[in-house]
Amino acid sequence: MVSGGGTGGHIYPALALIKQVKENEPNSEILYIGTQKGLESKIVPNSGIDFKTINIQGFKRSLSLENFKTIGLFLSSVVKARKMIREFKPDVVLGTGGYVSGAVVFAASLMGIPTVIHEQNSVVGVTNKFLSKFVKKIAISFQDAASQFPSQKVVLTGNPRATEVVNIKPESLGQFGLDSTVPTVLIFGGSRGAEKINRVTVDSLEELVKKPYQTLFVTGRVHFDQIAKEIDVEKLKSKVAILPYISNMPEILANISVIVGRAGATSLAEITALGIPSILIPSPYVTNDHQTKNAKSLVEDHAAELITENELTSEKLMRSLDQLMLDETARKEMANNAKQLGQPDAAENLYKVLVSVIK
Ligand SMILES: CC(=O)N[C@H]1[C@@H](OP(=O)(O)OP(=O)(O)OC[C@H]2O[C@@H](n3ccc(=O)[nH]c3=O)[C@H](O)[C@@H]2O)O[C@H](CO)[C@@H](O)[C@@H]1O
């Protein structure tokens, strides 16, 4: 049984792990528990995995009446998770973060079923911090996370999405009206899109269409309609493609020369596994500024460039982008540095941890 929800950063590692389990043990049965509201309700059923939902929400950081409702929902979702566990009878339960995994993994631990959590970030998330007291093993992606967990439970596995992206058959950018032989920059603000990155990219379109490179700009589903209204597609001259979301990201990444994006941990696992140069703009809106810490782990090794959201302007973006896109040697150097940090065996590592806790 697998649970992880809310954003792509929690969901895709879970799916990559499932892929590995199915490869190693084709007869295994898998059930994914998520929420209806999270991105998982779209992504998981589309990938052909059995999917059930429970209703849960996050705590408000300030004292609020909503929190009483949240506690009520948490308790009722633990009860619901227990029922699902009793019916499905999993040998092991994996949580990859997000509130829903809190309820599912907690319920499984109470029932004496072996549990594992996977932490993608270098700064530990709230749900995983809570679950760390109850689970058997804790799989981490950055060594920095180790000291924030009970040390005897920690195993450094990496992020399974790294394995998935290195083993996939690449697909042409022709599906977006672009030319796969031309150097391409991919701009996107994590799995949900980022308003500031979108704004600055829209402001840069006039410049981008003049470049010898092309651009794949992914806005995030909720931002797309508004942006589409503002843009004259004729003016993009097949040099820039704009999309709400890319469902086949692993297949696309092999044809990308540079990424401009947030510093979500799963994106970074992909970037390092494939060795893709990147310009990272960490989200300042996440707990304990963890994306800045994620990004710095690459920047320190000259494997990425960091621009803060405050510093981000169209001029700044275009300057940094040109430095990489117009200089193949600089790109190659950053790509090599990034690849040194990749963990392409992550899915197999995590699979082994799951097997080790099954009685
Ligand atoms: C705002 C927020 O809380 N963000 C967190 C969330 O980010 P978020 O969900 O944005 O996570 P990541 O950037 O880590 O991963 C995004 C994933 O979505 C995929 N993708 C993205 C866009 C698209 O069009 N298609 C697509 O498939 C990417 O390839 C990647 O696999 O989870 C991460 C991992 O725990 C955290 O580090 C982030 O801080």
pLDDT tens sequence across 178-219 = 999 999 999 999 999 999 999 999 999 999 999 999 999 999
Phi-psi map region of 166: left, alpha, beta (phi>0 left; psi -120 to 50 alpha) = alpha
pLDDT of residue 66: 75
> 89 C-alpha to center of ligand 1: Å?
30
Nearest CA to ligand 1 atom 27: 249
The mean pLDDT of the chain is: 95
pLDDT of residue 59: 65
pLDDT of residue 195: 97
Domain limits of the chain? 2-159+344-357, 173-340
Q: Which atom of ligand 1 is nearest to the CA of 39?
A: 9
Q: Which atom of ligand 1 is nearest to the CA of 12?
A: 31
Helix (H, G, I), strand (E, B) or coil at 22: helix
CA–CA separation, 8 and 221 (whole Å): 13
Confidence of residue 61 (pLDDT cuts 50, 70, 90): low
Taking each continuous run of H as one helix and of E as one strand, the counts in the chain are 14, 13
Nearest CA to ligand 1 atom 4: 264
Which tens digits make up the pLDDT trace of 314-340? Answer: 999 999 999 999 999 999 999 999 999
pLDDT of residue 56: 84
Q: What are phi and psi of 176, to 5 degrees?
A: -105, 10
Distances (CA, A) of 314 to 299, 301, 309, 325: 21, 26, 12, 16
Which tens digits make up the pLDDT trace of 90-133? Answer: 999 999 999 999 999 999 999 999 999 999 999 998 899 999 99
Give the residue, 43 or 70, on which the prediction is more confident.
Answer: 43
Q: Is 191 annotated as a binding residue?
A: yes
Q: Is 337 annotated as a binding residue?
A: no
Phi-psi map region of 51: left, alpha, beta (phi>0 left; psi -120 to 50 alpha) = beta
Which of 267, 293, 297, 298 for a ligand 1 pocket mutation test, highest count of atoms within 8 Å of Cβ?
267
Q: Which atom of ligand 1 is nearest to the CA of 192?
A: 10
Ligand 1 in reach of 265 Cβ (< 6 A): yes
Helix (H, G, I), strand (E, B) or coil at 184: strand
CA–CA separation, 142 and 334 (whole Å): 20
> 261 C-alpha to center of ligand 1: Å?
10
CA–CA separation, 245 and 247 (whole Å): 6
Q: Is 214 annotated as a binding residue?
A: no
Which of 191, 196, 276 for a ligand 1 pocket mutation test, highest count of atoms within 8 Å of Cβ?
191
CATH of the domain spanning 2-159+344-357, picked from 2.40.10.120, 3.40.50.2000, 3.30.465.10, 3.40.50.300: 3.40.50.2000
Ligand 1 in reach of 261 Cβ (< 6 A): no
pLDDT of residue 72: 82
Helix (H, G, I), strand (E, B) or coil at 137: strand
pLDDT of residue 234: 85
Which of 3, 7, 122 for a ligand 1 pocket mutation test, highest count of atoms within 8 Å of Cβ?
7
> 289 C-alpha to center of ligand 1: Å?
15
Q: Which CATH architecture has domain 173-340?
A: 3-Layer(aba) Sandwich (3.40)
Complex ipTM value:
0.97
> 266 C-alpha to center of ligand 1: Å?
6
**Common-topology check for domains 2-159+344-357 and 173-340:** yes
Nearest CA to ligand 1 atom 35: 9
Confidence of residue 353 (pLDDT cuts 50, 70, 90): very high
Ligand 1 in reach of 264 Cβ (< 6 A): yes
Which tens digits make up the pLDDT trace of 130-167? Answer: 999 999 999 999 999 999 999 999 999 999 999 999 99
Q: Is 275 annotated as a binding residue?
A: no
> 267 C-alpha to center of ligand 1: Å?
6
Q: What are phi and psi of 286, to 5 degrees?
A: -105, 160
Ligand 1 in reach of 278 Cβ (< 6 A): no
Token pair for 144:
């920095």
Confidence (pTM)? 0.94
Which tens digits make up the pLDDT trace of 295-317? Answer: 999 999 999 999 999 999 999 99
Which element (helix H / strand E) includes 334? helix 328-340
